[in-house]
Amino acid sequence: MFKKGIIIVGTVVLTLATGCEKETPPPPQTTVTVSPVISGNISSSLQLIGQVKALDKVDLVARVKGFLIKQNFNEGELVKKGSVLFEIEPDRYLAKLKAAEANYQKALADQKNADSDYKRQESLYKGDAVSERARDNALAKKMECDAQVKACEAAIDDAKLELSYTKIIAPFDGRVGLRSYSVGNVVGPESGVLLSIAKINPINISFSFSEKTLLTLSENSSPDDSIVKILLPNGMEYAITGKIVKWDNRVNPGTGTIKFEAEFKNPQQILIDGMYVNVIIEPKQPIRGLLIPRQAVQEIQDEKFVMVVSPDNIVSRQTVELGRNDEIFVAVNNGLKEGDIIIIEGLQKIRPQSKVVSKIDERYSSQAAAEVFYRLKRPQKFGANAPASSVSEVSSDTEAAK
């Protein structure tokens, strides 16, 4: 009896101990940020190095010799077409013109006498009063005097031309550079460049495409139907867009490139001849397609993929074929459909077949909604027509994007 009681008590104790154990709760589900696959527009953008090139550039030289007596400009300033920039001492060339005019007057007098004598000899010859030889001599003298008048007229034209060369004139509106000679120096054709002048509004940007890049650009539009933008050396975007206006007719066999030039308005003279800039080429008409945020794309051994969340919140890996991209989105050519949900944040915390809690980031729900990101990613504009932006506006955009 005693032993059986002990056994019964032990059984009760074991039963109570077993009933006090708690079940282990399942691990918490990972929260990830997701975005839908959207439909939108995206441009094919190409970026390369270019150099600013004056539309016209002329080196001014002296065409006659003499003392430089006057300078009518400040170095580096803008000048108008026809402005007199330098004046060379004109006295010598003025005297030469006067001498030519005097010779011309003498030639006219000789011509008048010769013409009168010829008419008289011709009349006498018809009346058999003089010989044919006398008439011919008078004709020859007349022709000689006529030729002398023409020679004197040419000498006057030449003297006037040389006199005009004593004033060195701007051939077009532009900006002058630094002078090579000061007032008081003797200059002439052998002196070389006195001053350079460049037409800088409008102005050209020169750049070269590789053969492959040119074919890529031509897939959607011709080169002359593209929008050209430039990034300045300070990293800001020039506020005015340009247009390709001319290009070479052959590929350089040494470099495999073809040269292009785009024209830009330059009202504030921000673009300076010789400056290096980054050139961005975009087609006028963007391509419409499926878009996803660039940050969602992962790559392993040249395979690009995204993590997709199913309607029942199960994660799967999906290989994608991508196309063009801009600052925020990348086009999806194959692998996804519109409305699919992909993970954009928390990728390092999940793996295929895991279950997650999804939190949609509405800022990627459309390109319009992502405008705040576009404004932060794109460089600020600089120059004419650039929108004014304050520090507070930039700060508020930054906070909104967080």
CA pair distance 399, 377, nearest whole angstrom:
14
Last residue of a domain, one of 283, 307, 334: 283
pLDDT for 26: 61
User: Residue 396 falls within a domain, yes or no?
Assistant: no
Instruction: Kindly report the three-state secondary structure assignment for every residue of 353-367.
Output: CCEEEEEECHHHCCC
- Mapped onto helix, strand or coil, the DSSP state of residue 209 is strand
| Tally of residues, the chain | 402
pLDDT for 8: 46
Last residue of a domain, one of 180, 195, 210: 195
Higher per-residue pLDDT: 389 or 314: 314
Domain match, 183 and 204 both: no
Percentage of residues in the chain having pLDDT higher than 90: 53
Domain match, 307 and 354 both: yes
Most confident region among 193-207, 219-233, 381-395 by mean pLDDT: 193-207
Higher per-residue pLDDT: 72 or 381: 72
Domain match, 78 and 98 both: no
User: For 88-127, what is each residue's pLDDT tens digit?
Assistant: 999 999 999 999 999 999 999 999 999 999 899 888 888 8
pLDDT for 45: 72
Q: Which amino acid is at 116?
A: S
| Interaxial angle between packed helices 132-164 and 91-126, expressed in degrees from 0 to 180 and rounded to the nearest 10 | 160
- Domain with residue 35: its CATH number is 2.40.420.20
- Mapped onto helix, strand or coil, the DSSP state of residue 290 is strand
What is the residue whose two structure tokens read 């002296």?
Answer: 62
Domain match, 271 and 216 both: yes
Last residue of a domain, one of 244, 259, 283: 283
Higher per-residue pLDDT: 91 or 14: 91
Question: How many structural domains is the chain composed of?
Answer: 4
pLDDT for 221: 62
Model confidence at 217, in pLDDT bands (50, 70, 90)?
Answer: low
Model confidence at 13, in pLDDT bands (50, 70, 90)?
Answer: very low
pLDDT for 141: 92
Higher per-residue pLDDT: 255 or 176: 176
User: Which stretch of 2-16, 287-301, 303-317 has the lowest confidence by average pLDDT?
Assistant: 2-16
User: For 334-359, what is each residue's pLDDT tens digit?
Assistant: 999 999 999 999 888 888 988 999 99
CA distances from 150 to 100, 140, 154 (A): 12, 16, 6
Strand (E) positions, 249-339?
257-264, 276-283, 287-293, 298-300, 303-309, 315-319, 321-325, 329-334
CA pair distance 365, 285, nearest whole angstrom:
22
Domain match, 141 and 238 both: no
Range of the domain at 218: 46-54+197-283
Residue 238 clears pLDDT 90, i.e. is over it: yes
User: Residue 237 falls within a domain, yes or no?
Assistant: yes
Domain match, 84 and 95 both: no
CA pair distance 356, 29, nearest whole angstrom:
5
How many other CB atoms are found less than 10 A from the CB of residue 137? 15
Domain match, 191 and 208 both: no
CA pair distance 266, 238, nearest whole angstrom:
10
User: For 19-29, what is each residue's pLDDT tens digit?
Assistant: 545 565 666 77
CA distances from 16 to 9, 12, 13, 20, 23 (A): 11, 6, 5, 7, 16
Q: Please list, residue by residue across 311-325, b when 16 or more beta carbons sit within 10 angstroms of its beta carbon and e when fewer do.
A: eeeebeeeebebebb
Domain match, 258 and 302 both: no
Q: What angle do CA 179, 185, 188 make, to 5 degrees?
A: 85
Model confidence at 226, in pLDDT bands (50, 70, 90)?
Answer: confident
User: Residue 259 falls within a domain, yes or no?
Assistant: yes
pLDDT for 381: 79
Query: In whole angstroms, how large is the CA radius of gyration of the chain?
Result: 43
Whether 90 and 111 have beta carbons less than 8 Å apart is answered as no
